Amino acid sequence: MVLACGLGALLALAGAVGGAAAAERTVVGHSVQGRPIVAVRNGEPSAPERVLVIGCVHGNEAAGMRVARRLIGAAPLLDAALWIVPTLNPDGVAADTRGNAHGVDLNRNFPFGWRPLDGLEYSGTGALSEPESRAARRLILGIRPDVTIWFHQPLDLVDRSGGDAAIERRFAQLVGLPLVELSRYPGSASSWQNHALPASTAFVVELPSAVGAGLVARATAAVRALAGEYGSPGIGPAIPILGTFP
Ligand SMILES: [Zn+2]
């Protein structure tokens, strides 16, 4: 089973201790066009806190990838492991499109509140119809991050996304953006996470359309500071993965 092997490798990676390199790169899936979807762990896998950063999900909103690269290159944190996915949508980045190569808005393709949508927000033929969404789900259920940050553009705010408001508010303070509640979009990744893993928090950061080096540095520092402050070791058993996977 491809799934079992991939998941086993992921969990082995997450469980490696003592002497393991602080940073590990793994391919967590492939896009519609076969591009690898890469996750990099920066920090010891045994760290009590796990923070996942998705630099880009809409391919034409790629500024968060610069934050992701800075996080990958930074020194490991002492008490938190950062998991960094520069882009969940490499085909969309290559084509400068919002959706993946099927034209699917991946942030409408997750299995919570999914419904058919057309146009720019085309949600696919069903929840998790896309390999990129399935890779994200597999990664998230494998590592169970305490906090997940999804970067988007261009609204220049932190979205009150439905997780722990104190964490969202703190990140907004750290990065210097207002905390605003946008719509809870059907099939969005953060809504699915906040529903499926209620002890964790997932939220959206909307960078502005033009992102300078100062903001990239501030966002990088904000992620690292938040990771140092928050997290909840022992958030409970993993949600069963096998058997519900399409
Ligand atoms: Zn977006």
Distance 12 CA to ligand 1 centre (A): 32
Report strand pairing: 49-54 vs 147-152: parallel
In percent, the amount of the chain with pLDDT more than 70 equals 84
Whether residue 63 is contained in a domain is answered as yes
Distance 56 CA to ligand 1 centre (A): 8
Distance 158 CA to ligand 1 centre (A): 12
Q: Is the pLDDT of residue 1 over 50?
A: no
Whether residue 237 is contained in a domain is answered as no
Among candidates 8, 91, 96, 85, which has minimal Cα distance to 41?
Answer: 85
Q: What is the pLDDT of residue 46?
A: 86
Distance 177 CA to ligand 1 centre (A): 16
Tokens of 185: 């979009």
CATH of the domain at 142: 3.40.630.10
Whether residue 67 is contained in a domain is answered as yes
Contact between residue 69 and residue 117 where contact means Cβ atoms under 8 Å apart: no
Distance 206 CA to ligand 1 centre (A): 7
Beta bridge partners, 166, equal: none
Distance 212 CA to ligand 1 centre (A): 18
Distance 59 CA to ligand 1 centre (A): 8
Distance 239 CA to ligand 1 centre (A): 27
CA 232 to chain centre: 18
Domain that holds residue 225: 2-230
Whether residue 245 is contained in a domain is answered as no
DSSP state of 119: G
- Top mean pLDDT of 2-6, 68-72, 78-82, 181-185 is at 68-72
What confidence tens digit (pLDDT) does each residue in 191-243 have?
A: 999 999 999 999 999 999 999 999 999 999 999 999 988 644 433 333 333 32
Q: What is the pTM of this model?
A: 0.86
Whether residue 24 is contained in a domain is answered as yes
Whether residue 91 is contained in a domain is answered as yes
Whether residue 244 is contained in a domain is answered as no
